[in-house]
Structure 1
Amino acid sequence: MRSMTNHMWRMAGSGTAAIAALLAMGGQASAQDTTTGAEDQGLEDIVVTAQRRSESIQDVPVAVTAFSAQELQRANIQDVGSYFQNTPNVFITDSPVRSGNNVSSSALGLALRGISNVGGNASSFGIYLDDFNISHIALNPHLIDMERIEVLRGPQGTYFGRNASGGVMSLNTQKPDTTRFAGEANAMIGRFGTYELGGMVNVPLSDTIAIRAAGKWETSDGEFNNKHPVGGGNGRDYKAARLSARATPTDSLTIDLSYNYAKEHDDDFGLIHTGVLSDFIKSICPGVTFSCPVDSNLGFYPNNRRNYAHDAPLVVNNEYHIAVGRIAWTGENVGVTSITGYGSAKFNRSGELDFSSVDFLREGFNYDSRKSFSQELRIQSVGDKRLNWIVGAVFARDKHREGEFIAAGKQNDIGLPEDFPIELSHFNQKITSKAVFAEATFDVTDALSLTAGARYSHDKLDRFEDQIEFGGPLQNVRGSRSFSDVSPRFAIKYAASDDVNIYGSISKGWKSGGFELDPQRARSDFGAETLWNYEVGVKSTLLDNHLRANLAFFYIDWSDVQVSSGVVGRDANGNIINYAGISNAASATSKGVELELLAAPTERLELGLNVGYLKARFDKFTDARTNFGTLDLSGKPLPKAPEWTLSTFAQYTAPLTDSLDAFVRGEYFYTDDAYTTVNNIAAVMAGQPTFPYLVKGYGKVNLRLGLESDRFRIAAYVENLFDKKYYSASFDFGFANGAAVVPGLRRWGLRGSVKF
């Protein structure tokens, strides 16, 4: 690890030195441009709304990474994983399906600064679409016609509430324009029989009303090959659309309405197995019908990266609807904003479940239905005054209904009759949230400002759950619990100069508790979890706006961590058991550094470097219940917490004519070693091989080149240029073929767009 650390520091140092050297050349080039009358404005300023008002990203005392519409296009950012890999100290695991719902605890797992959804009823992150929290509805919303994306690291409890202890992803869509008719059409063709069509049209209906429609359709044959003749394929079909309207009846009143829709269909997970078997699988194999691993003839990862054998089709469907209404009135001194949001999502999965060529397990059904409603009202000061303030209130209600039926197959090899009910479960849950918040920033001097704020939250949980395990008696639990919290935030900012801001902040994050059926099939309660984030940083814009350098240091104290414990195995009497439980069994700390550099040495060259260093550990976790026994994980790393993350890019644009440019862009990403679940940490502790439970660090290179003008753009891209063998998550439900992974593959394609 020390050699890796030294290597990463050398890379960061080399990148910084390269930027400095190019800036020196850029200074000469700028001077030459000035003499010829050319105009070089340096870096584009990005305006963010991290504090619920429009500010330059360099003035906000928050660690935030933002992507403008232009940068989203340049970096070919199409989904959650694409923009998170450009953010320091962020880790995201691949999912077998895009939605990420109901796959396993590894699916589409996200962590910011080592904070992740280790367990509990609510997310540790807020995902906001135009100020409406959609984290209960869509983990990976389709990015169509976006204006800006902001990633806020650290707890954002004052403004964003209980679902923001780890951080916030704020997605801002393009709004209708009342001044002009406009449109865009785009298309993509790529490897694995992948095609995409999309577009946008903006129509002004009058001087004060406009509508805007955007959508896309994507289809693919799939990256993986099912070698079983009747098991079906690995293709997918996605559709997404948005219809929005804007009305400005007066200069001070703006009304925005939007409706978002997505429908996703996946044919199969297409997991590639490693051949590494759990002790439970070893205990039932070899059996009468088959021996494990079943499909060794196909080979295992890393020698096999694309082939699998499933004897029955698997159907996965996901659909969501999101409607947002925003009314903003701005007076001379005071502004009022109302945000009303409603979302619903439906997930259904059935069919193949053992992920092998034998009829071992079947899933009769797995449905997941979610609904969210929220109403937020904010009143705040207007203008740049010595005292800026905001007060607000939120009412929200999340409903969640889920059920699953798992049955034994004909070749289950554990002595169960065909269609024997291994698991039949249902639950209904409702969380009603009420909150009030306030924050004020006072400019003590022209250079020094102080910020203080707090949010009071009250959650009420109503839950019903029942379950039958391995033909046992029906057990159920029903009841309600309430939780309350006050989450403060304090910040100080000092402007050392017009271009350098130094800040410090203390903020609290909170996630309410709940209850469920425990392993003994009785009600088990777990409490709320809290964390405190301590942070200092500096944001600077240097060299006549040609270098942006931001540095942040943080320390996080995470208490009463809600941990989900999943166990599949045998009890002391040899009976098969399968249960999951949640407890406040752990405490943890996370500390680290984040460096973000962006440089424009010349008008044609842009360089970027993001480096994150993280040390995130369980301080105390003495009774972790896992597939490998009850273990002491104290001192072990948190899941999804690599020590180093790095992303860097260089883009050069060359003019071909007065209206046409050619460009080339190279990108490099590195993620250090990481575990993705508590079970994977326990596996290695219990003597299992590190592969595949420890995700080894990897780096990959992307390349893009193309032509662009004000009206059209065409770009060829290759992702994972050198076909690096890597995976970002291991799935321990591989059953008779062992643990499985989703391999990273080389992808290429051609993407084009035209504006009219």
Structure 2
Amino acid sequence: MNVPHSGKRLLSPIQMAILALVAGTNVAYATEAADAQAGAAEQAQAQAQAPAADSGKMTEVYVTATKRSTSLQKTPVAVTALNSAALDDNHVQTLQDVVNLVPGFAATSQGDHGVTTLTLRGIGNDSAKTEYADPEVASFVDGIYSPRPEGATALLFDLEAIEVLRGPQGTLWGRNSSVGAVNMQTVKPEIGSNAGNFELGYGNYNRLGARGAFNIPINDTMAMRVSVVHEQHDGYVDYQAAPNVSLAAQHAAADPEIAKWNAAHPGNPIAFQPINTNLFVRNGAKYNAQDQSAARVSFLWQPSTQLKWNVSFEHYIDRGTPNMNLLQVARPGEDFWSTLADTAPYIHRDANSFRSRLDYQINNDVALAYIAGYSHFTGSSTFDQDGGTVVPTSFLTGGSHQEDNTVWSKYKNYSHELEIQSTGKRDVDWLLGLYYANEDNGIRFDIPIMNGTQQGTVGWQGSFVQPKETVDSSAVFGQATWNVSESLHLTGGLRYTSDKRSNIGGTNNQYTNPDLPQLPISPSIDPLNPASGFVTYQRNDGEFKDHKLTGLVRVNYDIDKNNMVYASVSTGYKSGGLQDGGQPYGSETLTNYEVGSKSTFLGGALRMNNAAYFEKFKDFQFSAPVTYPDGSRGLATSNAEGANIWGIETEIAAKLTKVDRVQLTAAYTHATLKHLIGGSNDYQLPACPVPGISTCLDVTGNTMPHSPKFSAQLMYQHTFHLADGTLIPRISTHYETASWLSVFNLGDQDRQKAYNRTDLGLRYDANSKWYFDAFVRNVEDGKVKTSAMNSFNGVWQAQYLPPRTFGINVGRSF
């Protein structure tokens, strides 16, 4: 049995805080009103205009896509807004839960680093999981860019709303939003309020959940809010029995290989060993488990109507496990949700985030905002990369043991943004801003690969040590809208960005001494020590600089008070950087041509928003682990010629009656690559004719991964009014056509076939402010792949969305 990193499991400070909250406090529901950034006046206006929940009209939604609080139906941007009620109804806990609610949105789970990468309108980067690569879809919390998934971006809690902006958002939103942006708005403190709520949940796989928050009025100018969350469930993946191979069969397989080794290495002979079955994991934490907690303390100081300061501190911990690569076709006699594991799963992550926004109304015409953020992250993890694809025939033959070990990972990032903008109704609305951000990253990542089992000889092993990788990004931006008339509006915007990236002291190290003991690398081994058997084959020191001017031109026209059309041309930019060996790769750019409409019909009962776009994507950054001709390995990034992408999106929400509501989102996407010859160690590829990489494939003209031709989400709910409350059954179903899982388009195993996935919910809200919510997710118990690979003996593996889950939540508000 192999269960490293064991230890006592004590209640964390966050879990104790949750218990304290559940004992006597809770959090008020967040309303669908205006974003807190826009100011108290606009928030009051939004609340006043929102119709009653049981009226025949759809609730008015306000968004901050243009960095002003505006009605969704008056905002000329392709944006999906999910308020707190929608997040609760759909049991949204992570960004993976959001994607089905947004047209053209997809998420990919990553096992070895335990993160989720995002794709929007057919464009994403599956390698955007460490400091090596940045995402095309940027994540923001309270308007502050989050370069790595942690805290509120990993475990969504106490949120007022999530806005997903589709298309380049660089002019106003900045870094790495070349394809889109996800902006999460936390619930802010409220002066004079004692409201709160709490919730407890239970489900299959021993799911336990608790969350709560409460608002504390301090005085007539200050308030505080405390919110906590804890979510855990057992892993979905069971462990298979260790190999049962007779000693005679083991000798027959191992003895010829032992003879070859001893003849080639007479100074370091090896002897036969029986397979040590204790090296295979049989108990302890399972793969695909959740154990995450977070707490946030927020303060509001508003000494006058002109000055307001929101500040928060958030702590996040993750003690779950990575998602396992499963065999796409289970071995005879084994369950699909099981694995032959010889590496125990482990995740240990901690993150602290500080966020601040200061708003000052200089006069009736001009407002100033200063937004600042700071995050600090540390983490480590272990992952069974081989996934038990082949059962070993002896200690030395048949199988392959590969671990992916993040020995340590750390980063610090901070940002400052200063904005000044016009307020009130004007002929020209304008906004000017300055931005600066800095990242300081570091990681040690080890890959031991052993022949047969951990007892065998070294197949290959390396240690990648990047002690310091920095990013400096600064920008100046501005946007103005000329309100030509009450109906016609012309908008222009520009952003100048300057980026600098540095790798200081980074090395790639490979084990090359067969005369030393054949043991997997461990954290106690220093790969930079010559006595360790490792040699440094690449030094990654280098510096990359680039700058870019991006912009936006848009016209929107209000046909009448219920119908608006718009057309825009916008450009996006993502900085290049440094790959292994200190070699640079270029920046990528995107030009988006878009037309759209936003309409309200039937006196507010029906809302329909549409967008059609064409995107010219240039110098797409393709990153993948590769093997070089000399046998060494690294992460290589190359710039594809680009891609051509076009599509149509629609969102329809309607109240069929005062008690019946239906919602539909749909997207058609066509995304094809231009010229690219790509390599990847995750796939068995032919020998590469291009110098520098051992294996590769010409993928020119292939379909971009995670971009189904058609996808749709349909939701229906009905409200029963009872004497003491309301009962709301709900059904939501998602359908999408087949989609590829990599740029290589390698056949049925490398794609997810067309599927339908249905969720059910039943919520009872009592007039006494307590509620009961039951749910079933993935009713069909479908096996939906999010990524695939066949690097181990051609056997296909995949990552999957969770199997069928169900549970209940009980809560109370006051």
In structure 2, the residue matched to 1:700 is 757
Out of 567, 570, 580, the residue aligned to residue 626 of structure 2 is: 567
After superposition, where does 1:361-400 map in structure 2 within 5 Å?
361-363=402-404, 365-400=406-441
In structure 2, the residue matched to 1:638 is 704
How far, CA to CA, are the matches of 2:678 and 2:323 in structure 1?
Answer: 33
In structure 1, the residue matched to 2:101 is 86
Alpha carbons 2:82, 2:162 under 8 Å: kept: yes
In structure 1, the residue matched to 2:366 is 334
What is the identity percentage for the equivalent residue pairs of Structure 1 and Structure 2? 25
Out of 544, 547, 551, the residue aligned to residue 606 of structure 2 is: 547
Secondary structure at 1:250 match in 2? coil
Shift of 1:589: 1.1
In structure 2, the residue matched to 1:248 is 302
Shift of 1:643: 0.9
In structure 1, the residue matched to 2:466 is 426
Residue range with higher mean Cα deviation, 614-623 or 154-163: 614-623
How far, CA to CA, are the matches of 1:161 and 1:634 in structure 2?
Answer: 30
How far, CA to CA, are the matches of 2:239 and 2:155 in structure 1?
Answer: 27
Matched, 1:485 2:554: no
In terms of fraction of residues, the more strand-rich structure is: 1
Secondary structure at 2:485 match in 1? coil
Shift of 1:736: 8.9
Alpha carbons 1:362, 1:409 under 8 Å: kept: no
Amino acid at match of 2:619: D
Matched, 1:179 2:192: yes
Out of 598, 607, 611, the residue aligned to residue 662 of structure 2 is: 607
How far, CA to CA, are the matches of 2:403 and 2:625 in structure 1?
Answer: 20
Out of 346, 350, 357, the residue aligned to residue 315 of structure 1 is: 346
Q: 1:116 to 1:312 in 2, by over 3 A?
A: closer
How far, CA to CA, are the matches of 2:638 and 2:74 in structure 1?
Answer: 40
In structure 2, the residue matched to 1:720 is 778
How far, CA to CA, are the matches of 2:113 and 2:699 in structure 1?
Answer: 26
Out of 729, 734, 739, the residue aligned to residue 669 of structure 1 is: 734
Out of 296, 300, 322, the residue aligned to residue 331 of structure 2 is: 296
In structure 1, the residue matched to 2:11 is none
Alpha carbons 1:585, 1:624 under 8 Å: kept: no
After superposition, where does 1:121-520 map in structure 2 within 5 Å?
121-138=133-150, 140-228=153-241, 230=282, 232-234=284-286, 235-267=289-321, 269-274=323-328, 296=331, 298-299=333-334, 304-330=335-361, 331-350=363-382, 352-356=384-388, 360-363=401-404, 365-409=406-450, 411-412=452-453, 416-417=457-458, 421-464=461-504, 465-471=506-512, 473-474=535-536, 475-517=538-580
Shift of 1:323: 0.7
Alpha carbons 2:238, 2:337 under 8 Å: kept: yes
How far, CA to CA, are the matches of 2:673 and 2:60 in structure 1?
Answer: 39
Alpha carbons 1:92, 1:111 under 8 Å: kept: yes
Q: 1:559 to 1:607 in 2, by over 3 A?
A: same
In structure 2, the residue matched to 1:750 is 808
In structure 2, the residue matched to 1:13 is none
In structure 2, the residue matched to 1:19 is none
Matched, 1:60 2:75: yes
Summarize deviations over 1:223-244 as a string: whole Å, max 9, x none. 2211346453314321111110
Shift of 1:409: 4.1
Q: 1:238 to 1:385 in 2, by over 3 A?
A: same
How far, CA to CA, are the matches of 1:718 and 1:158 in structure 2?
Answer: 41
How far, CA to CA, are the matches of 1:39 and 1:617 in structure 2?
Answer: 46
Secondary structure at 1:223 match in 2? coil
Summarize deviations over 1:705-752 as a string: whole Å, max 9, x none. 121135122111111112233322224466796423325411111112
In structure 2, the residue matched to 1:525 is 584
How far, CA to CA, are the matches of 2:482 and 2:123 in structure 1?
Answer: 31
Secondary structure at 1:108 match in 2? strand
How far, CA to CA, are the matches of 1:594 and 1:637 in structure 2?
Answer: 19
Matched, 1:111 2:119: yes
Q: 1:717 to 1:317 in 2, by over 3 A?
A: same
TM-score by length of 1: 0.84
Q: 1:305 to 1:230 in 2, by over 3 A?
A: closer
How far, CA to CA, are the matches of 2:796 and 2:677 in structure 1?
Answer: 28
Secondary structure at 1:71 match in 2? helix
Q: 1:236 to 1:549 in 2, by over 3 A?
A: closer
Q: 1:188 to 1:38 in 2, by over 3 A?
A: closer
Q: 1:752 to 1:634 in 2, by over 3 A?
A: same
How far, CA to CA, are the matches of 1:630 and 1:352 in structure 2?
Answer: 25
Shift of 1:642: 1.2
Amino acid at match of 1:71: A
How far, CA to CA, are the matches of 2:708 and 2:721 in structure 1?
Answer: 41
Shift of 1:216: 1.1
After superposition, where does 1:35-74 map in structure 2 within 5 Å?
40-74=55-89
How far, CA to CA, are the matches of 2:762 and 2:231 in structure 1?
Answer: 22
How far, CA to CA, are the matches of 2:708 and 2:311 in structure 1?
Answer: 40
Structure 2, unpaired ranges of 5+: 1-51, 242-280, 393-399, 513-533, 686-694
Secondary structure at 2:200 match in 1? strand
Summarize deviations over 1:586-618 as a string: whole Å, max 9, x none. 311110000110001211111101110000001
Shift of 1:122: 2.1
How far, CA to CA, are the matches of 1:88 and 1:272 in structure 2?
Answer: 28
Alpha carbons 1:121, 1:513 under 8 Å: kept: no
Secondary structure at 2:173 match in 1? helix
Alpha carbons 1:340, 1:374 under 8 Å: kept: yes
How far, CA to CA, are the matches of 1:729 and 1:365 in structure 2?
Answer: 20
Out of 593, 596, 603, the residue aligned to residue 534 of structure 1 is: 593
**Number of matched residues?**
672
After superposition, where does 1:622-637 map in structure 2 within 5 Å?
622=677, 627=683, 628=685, 629-637=695-703
Q: 1:703 to 1:249 in 2, by over 3 A?
A: same
Alpha carbons 1:177, 1:204 under 8 Å: kept: yes
How far, CA to CA, are the matches of 1:38 and 1:118 in structure 2?
Answer: 41
In structure 2, the residue matched to 1:280 is none
Secondary structure at 1:70 match in 2? helix
How far, CA to CA, are the matches of 1:584 and 1:409 in structure 2?
Answer: 33
TM-score by length of 2: 0.79
Residue range with higher mean Cα deviation, 371-380 or 625-634: 625-634
Matched, 1:597 2:648: no
Alpha carbons 2:57, 2:603 under 8 Å: kept: yes
Secondary structure at 2:302 match in 1? strand
Structure 1, unpaired ranges of 5+: 1-36, 276-294, 685-689
Alpha carbons 2:622, 2:678 under 8 Å: kept: no
Amino acid at match of 2:437: A
Summarize deviations over 1:237-280 as a string: whole Å, max 9, x none. 211111101111011111101111110112453432135xxxxx
Alpha carbons 1:136, 1:398 under 8 Å: kept: no
In structure 2, the residue matched to 1:24 is none
Secondary structure at 2:98 match in 1? helix
Amino acid at match of 1:481: F
Alpha carbons 1:547, 1:600 under 8 Å: kept: yes
Q: 1:312 to 1:162 in 2, by over 3 A?
A: closer
Amino acid at match of 2:486: D
Shift of 1:503: 0.2
Residue range with higher mean Cα deviation, 120-129 or 735-744: 735-744
Shift of 1:646: 0.5
